[in-house]
Structure 1
Amino acid sequence: RSYIWPELLIEEAWNSYYKGDYNRTLGKLVTYKAPVLSYVVNPEINVLKALSYYKLCLYDDMSNIIDDHYKEFDKSKQVIDKMLAKKHSLEWYFKFINSYVDGKKYYDSLTNKLLENVRKDPAFIQLYKSYKDGLREIKSIKKVRNRRLRKILAINLKDSLFLQQKLIGSYVKKVFKLTSAQLEKSFVGLSYLRLEALNARKARLYSGITDTGARGDIKYLKRNSKQYFWSFNGEFWADELGDYVFALRSECQK
């Protein structure tokens, strides 16, 4: 139910990455595949996954992450950029999220994810609740018998509602602009990383080193006496979210 906790996972993953614990980094990041976090949109997740595989010299895995990233986001970014280029009004963005809250879904999956992300934001929830309360208040004002007072109250309330619409619209627009910028940055970063991996593969080829072909094994897992091994078969349990650790062997040759 926490809105903040999903954002902390990426910070914890970076922590593990800088400690050189790439298996724990990948474990933290796989949590985002849990259905309960399907609304989370953060291109940095795939960048960190690819970096971790790169550090483990698992270049095929890294390439798969990069390919999947482009498949998932390339076309959607074009959709978002076209929408932003049209310079819609803030009122338009308000109607955009309002329609989504009322049940409308859009053909682009990333657009729906971003709108769902906004819908779960406590700040949006509070603003939207105030807006809905204002609509109900307008209906109540109609019962005021004093015509002059009723008119003044209605004007003031409508001005307030219009301002709330603009605030909500501004927030929605900001989310889409920020996501577009993050995606652009991720594409650039992953392109550089692919080039680095190509150079590393070429150096390995010239040196005559071959991959062992080994994959995950419990012996590669760092754990203490209070931590137990449990095979992961694609099921996500609430009390395990954020605690996964991979057990991949590094292919790097020292």
Structure 2
Amino acid sequence: MALCLYEDANEVINEFNTKYTKTGEEIKRFVERNSSNLVAFYNIGAEALKASLSTKNNFYHMLNRFVRGPYFQNLVSEYEAMSHELAAVRGFGSMQPGVDNSPGKGFPGFLQLVLNWRAKSIRLIGGAFVKNSLIDHHSMLIADFEKMAFIKLEMLGRAKDKLLDKRAGAIDRSRGNIEPSRRDDQYYWSFNGEFWNDELGDYVFGLESECNR
């Protein structure tokens, strides 16, 4: 059996760069622009949560890695439930003509203050979660780009070898064809290019390089 993964690797790298370069830049701009605005982070997280899983928005795809977890979903559900409570309290206050039910005035007004505080707290907590998660995932994305860059160097080295009419992959790739060592208490079986030193964990298959063939 022979195998060459250069073309496949190059295709994966190009696809990754095309898909995530713009997304990484968008995340960076959003974080920098809203650094002190946690509500904006909550809102973008809630938008991604409500959007379809099959959305073509790559920013939402990145957000979906954590906003669809139980923690953020529970915060959004609590915020929506609290909004209904606040509407009910306001309706109750309007049913008492002549009574000042503005925030902080009377029992309905006091409830409005409490619910408004809850709403603000939920959005701040949720916003902090989304912000920190975005920063973490952006850092991982940068690390992935660095890994891709190292692989790309290998691709460029192969292209250079081609230009210089050198045989790409000339390094020793014959480890699968080397007879493995065995202990005195082991049996050695050889068949169809495979090696097996008694135990299944010692199984070795000879895989040759097909690059430039």
Q: Are residues 1:163 and 2:121 paired? A: yes
CA–CA distance in structure 1, aligned partners of residues 155 and 45 of structure 2? 41
From 194, 205, 216, the equivalent of 2:168 is 205
Q: Are residues 1:67 and 2:14 paired? A: yes
From 2, 27, 35, the equivalent of 1:80 is 27
Q: Are residues 1:137 and 2:100 paired? A: no
Asked which structure has the greater CA Rg, the reply is: 2
Gaps of 5+ in 2: 173-191, 193-205
CA–CA distance in structure 2, aligned partners of residues 134 and 78 of structure 1? 35
Which amino acid in the other structure matches residue 133 of structure 1?
A
CA–CA distance in structure 2, aligned partners of residues 185 and 179 of structure 1? 10
Q: Which has the larger share of strand?
A: 2
Distance 1:155 1:207, change over 3 A: closer
CA–CA distance in structure 1, aligned partners of residues 129 and 69 of structure 2? 11
Is the partner of 2:168 in helix, strand or coil?
Answer: helix
- TM-score, scaled to structure 2: 0.61
Describe the superposition over 1:27-76 as per-residue Cα deviations: whole angstroms up to 9, x where unpaired: xxxxxxxxxxxxxxxxxxxxxxxxxxxxx652221111111111111122
Q: What number of residue pairs does the alignment pair up? A: 162
CA–CA distance in structure 2, aligned partners of residues 252 and 205 of structure 1? 10
Counterpart in the other structure of 2:179: none
CA–CA distance in structure 2, aligned partners of residues 69 and 206 of structure 1? 24
Aligned-pair CA distance for 1:170: 1.5
- Contact map agreement 2:169 2:209 (CA 8 A) in 1: no
- Contact map agreement 1:58 1:250 (CA 8 A) in 2: no
From 149, 153, 156, the equivalent of 2:111 is 153
Aligned-pair CA distance for 1:108: 7.3
Aligned-pair CA distance for 1:208: 9.3
Distance 1:166 1:250, change over 3 A: farther
Counterpart in the other structure of 2:197: none
Describe the superposition over 1:110-148 as per-residue Cα deviations: whole angstroms up to 9, x where unpaired: 112124444421111111111111111112223266851
- Contact map agreement 1:134 1:157 (CA 8 A) in 2: yes
Which amino acid in the other structure matches residue 123 of structure 1?
Y
Which amino acid in the other structure matches residue 154 of structure 1?
Q
CA RMSD of aligned residues (A): 3.7
Describe the superposition over 1:172-214 as per-residue Cα deviations: whole angstroms up to 9, x where unpaired: 22232222211111111111123245557858538499xxxxx
CA–CA distance in structure 2, aligned partners of residues 189 and 65 of structure 1? 12
Which amino acid in the other structure matches residue 85 of structure 1?
E
The correspondence of residues 187-206 of structure 1 with structure 2, limited to 5 A, is 187-196=145-154, 202=161, 205=168
Describe the superposition over 1:85-106 as per-residue Cα deviations: whole angstroms up to 9, x where unpaired: 21340011222233445559xx
* Runs of 4 or more consecutive aligned structure 1 residues displaced over 6 Å after TM superposition: none
- Contact map agreement 1:80 1:176 (CA 8 A) in 2: yes
Counterpart in the other structure of 2:137: 179
Describe the superposition over 1:202-249 as per-residue Cα deviations: whole angstroms up to 9, x where unpaired: 58538499xxxxxxxxx9xxxxxxxxxxxxxxxxxxxxxxxxxxxxx9
